[in-house]
Amino acid sequence: MAQFRAAPAHEALTTDQGVRVDDTDNALRAGTRGPTLLEDFHNREKITHFDHERIPERVVHARGAGAYGYFEPYESLAEYTCADFLAESGRRTPVFVRFSTVQGPRGSADTVRDVRGFATKFYTREGNYDLVGNNMPVFFIQDAIKFPDFVHAVKMEPHNEMPTGASAHDTFWDFCSLQPESTHMLMWLMSDRAIPRSFRMMQGFGVHTFRFVTADGRGTFVKFHWKPRLGVNSLVWDEAQIAAGRDPDFHRRDLWEAIESGQYPEWELGVQLVPENDEFAFDFDLLDATKIIPEEQVPVRPIGRMVLDRNPQNFFAETEQVAFHTANVVPGIDFTNDPLLQGRNFSYLDTQLIRLGGPNFSQLPVNRPIADVHHNHRDGFGQQVIHPGTNYFPNSLGGGCPAHAGSGGGPGVFRHYAQRVDGEKIRVRSDSFQDHYSQATLFWNSMSDWEKRHIVEAFRFELGKVDSVQVRERMVGNLAHVNGDLAAGVADGLGLPAPDPVPGLPVTASPALSQENLRSSAGIRTRKVAVLVADGTDTAQVTAVRERLTTAGAIVEVLAAKDGSVRGTDNDTLDVDRALPTMASVLYDAVVVADGKEAVGALAADPAAVRFVEEAYRHGKPLAVLGEGTRLLSEAKLPEAVFLGSSAPDHGVITSNGSASAEDVADALAAALEQHRFPHRPGLLN
């Protein structure tokens, strides 16, 4: 009997049974744009083996946080779908949402550069519907048969299990440089979208094109968008790295504390609707998961809102055991032939079987539907239901039950969208999937100057961690097909020659893609502000600032060199919320420096306080300074023009200048907080 061994160089690819395979890039489908076929044994074997590689942790999206809440539509969508939970304005449907990172294990940090999962389970009256998406609207690959390859590449290197929770290593970039279809997703991953300020401030997307289906069988293509009420905001890279050390649970803690304090996160659900007869009206393929529909071509229509208002009681029982599946749909929502979606519809169920120990995971409380369940499934690991009577169909001994919901129609019955399917069985991707760069260019063209700078810096950092020169060169060559300045900037940081310009690149842009245009009008609710104090602080001013900001919804914490309290200028006392050595500026959205000559002298002599202010400035965060506090800004070597000149508010640095009251400073800081960050400050590195 032959012994299993690692494949030597130049050997042909085979199945587990030793059958040679001619194509592992394209699943078997009916025609170039047809559905994936179940008989594709290579695809099933490859994905099944991949799904069972980890026990019991999720292979991807292992680190997550979840919460319960509700969804309510703004109006009836019966014109487009017979989905019951979208049929009536204001009807509340319970939900459970799980946010996650993709690459790292459960013990990795929250603020790594990565895609974030955004999966929502709707407990509808017609069964559970899972909208399993990400915080980016596209993906790395077009066909699910490539998913094991992508994840193997982005996961830790197999020989040393490094790096944890990061994509900055050789195998990932080797794969991407050889797979140009990943280029659009790489632009999103290298942007600030990959390091969100919090789960509460990031968008979510269904990624794929799905179908709405009406009661009479009419279909409409649909893409799903979640938009956070608090606006779309991100960290900067240096800030994210520091936060990973100061608080690896930064995002999980943020979500938990917001809900516990009654500041419930909220998102608006929107849809892009495309009539069936417009399927081929675009210069890209609707079935291609590496493409978006620009909002300028098809506006996003708001259809409802989601509020998360309850934390789980037990992380393992709920957040860890929740099982999502793209094929968990309800009447009125159906699939398209997107080859990535088709593969996910197989993979998710297969994964849950091994991760949760058998076929009865839907009986776990977090997965249990509120709709009645009647079927002939029996036994298996984890069975919690005592089933009397018959367990087969058809039967007469059980009165014929459970019976078919009826072939004659009626509400609440799932019927697949009727679509003609024909074509040769073939492992070939449609020619309409071959454009891998134009939307990557669209993304680049849509960014503000500071967003472009961050993207270049991210590519430099990631590729700078790659040892293989040929991988670096190949990736820079790919970027030349996106934008010449981008490729040249990355090449310069890597010590490589700039590639030759590629003529005729698109010049179109989509303003909806830039975070510059995605700020919130919801004020400063839940924004965290640190106030630096010491003995000799003007406590009246601190109290006035705190009350003003708290009334506006911000969370204000007083920080000093040690816990307890500090003495005020009038020998009164001010309680300290946090000891400065245990915190960092990266854990706050803004910083206030209190007044008081003695206090400012102590702060200026404290390296931790000086670093606190310097980091906040360098990361573009709003700063407010009362009276003598400007001395601390000088000690942190901030440009004097920023806090002494009349243009200071334009840079998010607010001072009292001897005349403004504490309330005036607080109001100006609140206005600055609504801007989130000031990326054009003099001397700013990020």
Distance of alpha carbon 487 from alpha carbon 437, whole angstroms: 13
Average pLDDT over every residue of 500-509: 95
Locate 178 and state its tokens. 């050889």
DSSP state string for 100-159: EESSS-TTS-TTSSS-EEEEEEEEETTEEEEEEEESSS--S-SSGGGHHHHHHHHSPPTT
CA–CA–CA angle 470, 139, 304 (5° rounding): 155
Residue-wise pLDDT tens digits, 192-243:
999 999 999 999 999 999 999 999 999 999 999 999 999 999 999 999 999 9
The residues that are catalytic are 61, 134
Pairing of the two strands 219-228 and 573-576: unpaired
Average pLDDT over every residue of 569-575: 93
The pLDDT value given to residue 410: 61
* Cβ atoms of 124 and 199 closer than 8 Å: no
Q: Give per-residue burial for 587-612: e unless 16+ CB within 10 Å, then b.
A: bbbbbbbbbbeebbbbbbebeebbeb
Average pLDDT over every residue of 266-281: 98
In sequence order, the 6+-apart residues with CB closer than 8 A to the CB of 324 are 98, 119, 121, 130, 132, 348
The percent of residues in the chain predicted with pLDDT above 90, rounded, is 78
The pLDDT value given to residue 300: 98
Average pLDDT over every residue of 272-285: 97
The pLDDT value given to residue 250: 98
The pLDDT value given to residue 684: 61
Residue 1 pLDDT class (50, 70, 90 cuts): very low
Q: Is the pLDDT of residue 15 over 80?
A: no
Residue-wise pLDDT tens digits, 638-674:
987 676 654 455 789 998 866 789 999 999 999 999 9
Residue 682 pLDDT class (50, 70, 90 cuts): confident
* Residue 393 half-sphere exposure toward CB, CA atoms < 13 A: 9
Chain centroid to CA 153: 20
Average pLDDT over every residue of 437-442: 98
The pLDDT value given to residue 409: 52
Residue range(s) in the chain whose domain bears CATH number 1.20.1370.20: 438-517
Q: Is the pLDDT of residue 143 over 50?
A: yes
Query: 0.75 exceeded by the pTM?
Result: yes
Fold observed for domain 438-517: Hemocyanin, N-terminal domain (1.20.1370)
Distance of alpha carbon 476 from alpha carbon 496, whole angstroms: 9
Residue range(s) in the chain whose domain bears CATH number 3.40.50.880: 528-675
Tally of residues, the chain: 686
Residue 536 pLDDT class (50, 70, 90 cuts): very high
Average pLDDT over every residue of 19-42: 86
Distance of alpha carbon 615 from alpha carbon 239, whole angstroms: 8
Least Cα distance to 33 among 142, 120, 166, 158 occurs for 142
Q: Is the pLDDT of residue 679 over 60?
A: yes
Least confident span in 365-369, 661-665, 682-686: 682-686
The pLDDT value given to residue 10: 63
Architecture of domain 29-363: Beta Barrel (2.40)
**What CATH class has 528-675?**
alpha beta
* Cβ atoms of 216 and 257 closer than 8 Å: no
Residue 529 pLDDT class (50, 70, 90 cuts): very high
Residue 44 pLDDT class (50, 70, 90 cuts): confident
* Cβ atoms of 390 and 375 closer than 8 Å: no
The pLDDT value given to residue 647: 45
Q: Identify the residue with better confidence: 65 or 26.
A: 65
- Greatest alpha-carbon pair distance for the chain in Å reads 91
Residue-wise pLDDT tens digits, 604-626:
999 999 999 999 999 999 999 99
Residue-wise pLDDT tens digits, 580-599:
999 999 999 999 999 999 99
Placement of tokens 């307890």 in the chain: 564
